[in-house]
Structure 1
């Protein structure tokens, strides 16, 4: 009682505005008590970033096929369009370093950023062929392209095992994708920084196709670069919820307006209809005063620029995570997705059948994933999918 009297005197002497100012100062102090570095570290853990990328070249552009892949699986805000569109939950693209070795083009890739816990589901070697750069013979229309694993030797790189072979038309141009999953899976975790492929081109006559490597290198840059693309699973994906939806018995004898309609348990049906209608109306007025709205979803926008991540995240620039807010007191509306357990708990609380029983919590009952397209520390472009990042709907649990 003495404590309440002291608080009343403080409010009376200082005025409501001063008391509110003291409250704001306390909240500010609480925010400052949590180090920013600790908060960012926790955020890094959520997004599975061991290290944050830095020194990204401002002019650096992502490859077009990665932008197209992002658009296929995600909306403009990064939210996943449908489950299963992306193979695995992380796609890594590595630009090649082309070296001139004799008459064959060589492609070198640094895949050291692949984590040991990542399982490679698929690996694609993407090459853009522009046959006009080659010394073509008019009498031939096709060429066999052979992809070899590049091995290190005392006298320099040399051909290893044949990985893939394909017959391609000589008078067209475009991207070709070679499946190199088995070879790249062998590379992962071997401790080496660079790995590569060597290509040979054979005409139907059996002779090799001569290539102007200087011109080939010149045109194999920027948007024409070749890539090694890995589709990985790093084990972060959540286990799908297989629980069936709860079953409720609807009270049809005394319906409320749509905003207050509720699902009631059968044991309550022994009351007379007019008694139930009166009791429910009174409970609704008590349970949902204007300053305590029922459980609902509200916006919660996460801006990557505000947390200093805008320099290396390509898309999206931020996303709406949403959050759940409000109370879950009996009777709960049908739109709240209340479980049987939550309904029973709210009744026990309302009737005070047990001491210390709180109302159910307003929490997300459906979550969606988001996708991030970003540069890693080596300026390779990565597409990552994160589960349970967006509250799609809220309910009482």
Structure 2
């Protein structure tokens, strides 16, 4: 399952359960009149609210680091919480999104541009769930007798490891440097002598976060791939934005021509 949150200028979440919010405008109020730097990355921690004897407790569900200037949907995996809520509906007290800087300073989600329930309808957080059809008839919850607990119960919502998210950053879909020289076309290309074309390379990991600049189609394809890996391939890392270059060259009549060639330089990459 996934939860999505929208970033208006800073970030955007994705699918699985997923969440949506974001937009960051500097400066932001800080301690002693200081401002938070929009160039600093932020940590977003998604926590589930649960009951306990002396009040409420917060359990970490998912987390991700979002660089400044990013815009789009943010995807968080809330499968463990959703499964727990299906078995224990009364334990569903909601989800809390906590924002923190690298200096351990907490920030308001609204300050950094996360879109909440009062934002545009098209950018409000939402959850996506997928269910498998079971051939075995299920008994209603009331017919299930609780078993006595002999051992100390383990937490229903395990704490995710931060290393699971950091390791993906080294292999995710990114734009990479590639230079193309016109040395083999010197007899007709006058300028430029070459240019930086760039290319896209990397994996589209599930769930697709905002850093992967994924389309909605890619999000759905990635989910279907998990269900039917032999029928549907994973989303691919490909250019999402291209720009032109101008080339000065001789035509067939030996005239000097300046022409703008479209889609020659990769500007950004994403999962498609």
Q: Which TM class, normalised by the smaller chain length? A: 0.3 to 0.5
Q: Which has the larger radius of gyration?
A: 1
Q: Which has the higher strand share?
A: 2
Q: Which has the higher helix share?
A: 1
